[in-house]
Chain A
Amino acid sequence: DADVTQTPRNRITKTGKRIMLECSQTKGHDRMYWYRQDPGLGLRLIYYSFDVKDINKGEISDGYSVSRQAQAKFSLSLESAIPNQTALYFCATSDRLGSTDTQYFGPGTRLTVL
């Protein structure tokens, strides 16, 4: 089984709808991240959480919110989806106690907002 899972893997929705993307991990890592990837723009950080009580905005948090329900779960919400939020979304984890900052990624969610 994959260490980092994301659901759904693909989603098509309409402008104005509320969408939740979910991420679960079995790696036992404290830190979790949400990124979006757009062609030509690379990976950009949306939100990150260093533990259950710690949530921080990344470089492009506007229009998004997150919830860290447990150490293993980190959800990303789009309260009112808009077309320019069409992108590939990745969840990632890293180990606070690790000697490096290596991040491990889930398989991604492809979101299309019409």
Chain B
Amino acid sequence: RKEVEQDPGPFNVPEGATVAFNCTYSNSASQSFFWYRQDCRKEPKLLMSVYSSGNEDGRFTAQLNRASQYISLLIRDSKLSDSATYLCVVNRGYGGSQGNLIFGKGTKLSVKP
């Protein structure tokens, strides 16, 4: 099983649509979970951290299921500006390298007018 696995997409959706991305991770010791956003040829930027209780930031909702080692991101009322690649990220969670992050390869979202 890959350390962090995501559907690469692309997800092509119309403006206003709701879209969901999923991610699985293999390391049960991981303690920190994130979604990063990356625009073409730009640096990854933190979109939101993911907490066990689930969390919401405006149109974005993230969920974590530790038992299934599964993370999700829901985007409601998609905007053209949401077009980007979304990276699922977890930490290694053990030993001296516990601060190190493992990045998924990303899911590409394209929002069309």
Contact = CB atoms under 8 A, between A and B. Distances in A.
Contacts of B100: 33, 45, 48, 58, 101
Q: How large is the interface on A (under 10, 10 to 19, 20 to 34, 35 or more residues)?
A: 20 to 34
Contacts of A43: 44, 87, 103
Contacts of B103: 42-43
Interface residues of B, number: 21
Nearest to B97: A56
B41 A88 contact: yes
Given A100-B49, A105-B43, A105-B45, A41 B99 contact: no
User: Interface centre among A56, A104, A105, A108, by most B CB within 10 Å?
Assistant: A105
Nearest to A44: B103
Q: Shortest 10 CB-CB distances between A and B: which pairs?
A: A105-B43, A42-B105, A43-B103, A101-B91, A101-B32, A101-B99, A100-B32, A42-B103, A105-B44, A108-B43
6 contacts: A42-B87, A94-B99, A101-B100, A102-B46, A103-B101, A105-B43
